[in-house]
Structure 1
Amino acid sequence: MTADATRTYDRGPDVKFPPPLLFVGGLGLGVLLDRFGRVPFEITAPSLVTVLGLVLGVAGLAIVYTGIVTFRRARTAVYPNRPAKRVVQHGIYAYTRNPMYVGMAVFYIGGVLVTASLAALVLLPVVLRVLHVHVIAREERHLHAAFPEEYAAYCAKVGRWW
């Protein structure tokens, strides 16, 4: 089998689902639990909190977008079911190894504030744990295997989250 044929079948970290689904699912489930379940506490969202939530939501999307654009300009895979072609260390990746996930978490917190959903806030650590175990750990294993020295040096220099 040629190198090109092998690359065709390489699924990179082989993540089984789109990571944004974790955040949308957690936030949606939390809002549903608050609306239809028996949650012992209620958060009231004054207009200032709602505005802060909107600002965080937009900022989170901007961080995600910046990460995607940086990957596209570096001509490497954006989707975690495709192999990385290089370790991207410039732009926002000089500050965090996972800007898209940081952005999704910031967006999620904004959504918590806008919806005033305590259940969604409580679910955030669960979302982040599932993300770490089923996505980030796979991505890191893939990058360590594909670029052992370069990725190890990058990890020593730049934190996973910020």
Structure 2
Amino acid sequence: MAIDFAKRPNWIPWPPILYVVAGGVAYLLQTVVPTGKFLPDWARLCGDVFIAFGLALDFWAMGVMLIARTNILPNRGAGRLITYGPFTYTRNPIYLGNTFLLVGIGLAFSALWFLPMALVAAFLVDRLAIRREEVHLALRFGDEWTTFAARTPRWLRKPF
């Protein structure tokens, strides 16, 4: 069945599925083939910071979308194009936050399987969701989307 990208980007909500599966696979791998507790305290502290940053980014983006009264589900059509708040720095703050969250878990708990699985999840989200969402947004918002996409990176803008 073909998707009408002007109405919706996807039939399946890939991002939450992929991040949960990646976390589950990382957990199972860590259980079967443990990576050990060898990370220094500073690396584990970095993990805590990544977890906090990832959650903060997720909640900030979801809050902005809720206040703007636009859809948050990745398989439904966008009601509005959000270009402020966390969307000033990245076109995909929730996906970026979820990636930071998985990396943070890996570092904080010395569960290093979470690191490659975070990258696998981000890659698959990019291919199965983000690129389709961009087609949807371009069809739905035209020049407004083109201008936004030209000035805002897909993943992360340099802070300086």
What range describes the TM-score normalised by the shorter chain of this pair? 0.7 to 0.9
The residue type paired with residue 157 of structure 1 is: R
How far apart in 2 are the matches of 1:68 and 1:18? 17
- Which residues of 2 match residues 117-156 of structure 1 at below 5 A? 117-156=111-150
Q: Does 1:85 align with 2:117?
A: no
Give the TM-score taking structure 2 as reference length. Answer: 0.84
Q: Deviations over 1:49-97 (max 9, x none)?
A: 3332122112111100000111111111111122111211111111111
Instruction: Give 1:32 deviation, angstroms.
Output: 1.6
**Runs of at least 5 residues in structure 1 that lack an aligned partner in the other structure:** 1-9
- Which residues of 2 match residues 39-58 of structure 1 at below 5 A? 42=36, 44-58=38-52
Partner of 1:29: 25
Q: Does 1:95 align with 2:89?
A: yes
Q: Residues 115 and 21 of structure 1: is their aligned pair in 2 closer, same or farther, counting only changes over 3 Å?
A: farther
- Runs of 4+ more than 6 Å apart: none
How far apart in 2 are the matches of 1:90 and 1:14? 24
Count of matched residue positions in the alignment of Structure 1 and Structure 2: 151
Q: CA RMSD for the aligned pairs?
A: 2.0
Instruction: Give 1:24 deviation, angstroms.
Output: 2.7
Confirm or deny: 8 A CA contact 2:95 2:122 kept in the other structure.
no
How far apart in 2 are the matches of 1:35 and 1:161? 31
**Runs of at least 5 residues in structure 2 that lack an aligned partner in the other structure:** 1-5
How far apart in 2 are the matches of 1:61 and 1:137? 24
Give the TM-score taking structure 1 as reference length. Answer: 0.83
Partner of 1:6: none
